[in-house]
Structure 1
Amino acid sequence: MFFEQKIDLRSKRAMVNFLDGHYRYYTMNSWNRTTSYANRVKIPYLGLTREQASRAYDMLDTDYWDELQPIIDDFTSEMKGQYTIATNGRSGGYLVLYSKVASGIDDGLSRDEFMDWSMSDLRDRVELVCRFDRASDEIRDAFINLLDNCKVVEETVMVPKTVKRIVCSTA
């Protein structure tokens, strides 16, 4: 467990502290000031060895997200499409929990507002955010697996290109 935490679901204070203290990041762009639960997945914050970090920077220029997307798809499916995970930030350095309408979750709620929630509602939200954190751990683990078991190679690929040209008929 890297992101996921064990939360005492019997304690309102523990659940409120968890939700109120969870890392958050902007949804869409910072100018909209809407945030949601998030995890920072920038290379220096993933707890990698020096060798893994070096390979990770090489990996950034590949289609490595194709290998990680099934984890997000599984999460979205498990959430019956109500929630999903997307990357955000200039370099995609944050995993952000989104509701199906691509909005922030619990944006701007204060500790006191959380305290007004029922135990059942708090438990449901904590379980959702913990599941998001577990999915973030699964993504991190899969990325580390790529770093440890794959290598980046350069290839020259010929890409067909459609062009327009002038063809004149001879008279």
Structure 2
Amino acid sequence: MSNPKSEWLSWIKSILFALIISFIIHTFLFSPYIVKGESMSPTLEEGNKLIVNKMKNIKRFDIVVFHAPDSNEVYVKRVIGLPGDTVEMKNDVLYINGVAYKEPYLNKLKKQYSYLNRFTGDFTLKEITGKEKVPDGKVFVLGDNRLRSNDSRRFGFIDEKDIIGSAVFRAWPLQKIGVMH
């Protein structure tokens, strides 16, 4: 017959071990995030639940979660410019370092707003931030819903240290569950 005290101690150790592992994973590796607002529509919608990878190796076009520079909120946006990049929007075409980039994630909204001359207004980094290039330790971010996004066009660059991580997995809604691209 087993000792009840030994059984309880075993359960307490197991629960404490699980809590410590959970804390380590949440603090240093991954954390959940719930999308608020429509700035990343249609890529991400209000209420989508994401898993954010905190191991920062941010690349261009990653969707990142970060501490907003203009409020006490947490925002989710797409990285467009990395340190040293020039960024320009001209006639609804994104230019990074003078090279035109397609933005297929905008196609659905561009069709929806086809009556507009431009989905994204023209700009250069110099006009918005006073800088020719993205400074070291900073990134330039835009929301996919350019018509309704509070992003680097308004608040400037994001400090890399303010980035919590990149969205790697959508856990909700069930019909859109999967790895983020």
Normalised to the residue count of structure 2, the TM-score between the two structures is 0.27
* More strand per residue: 2
Normalised to the residue count of structure 1, the TM-score between the two structures is 0.28
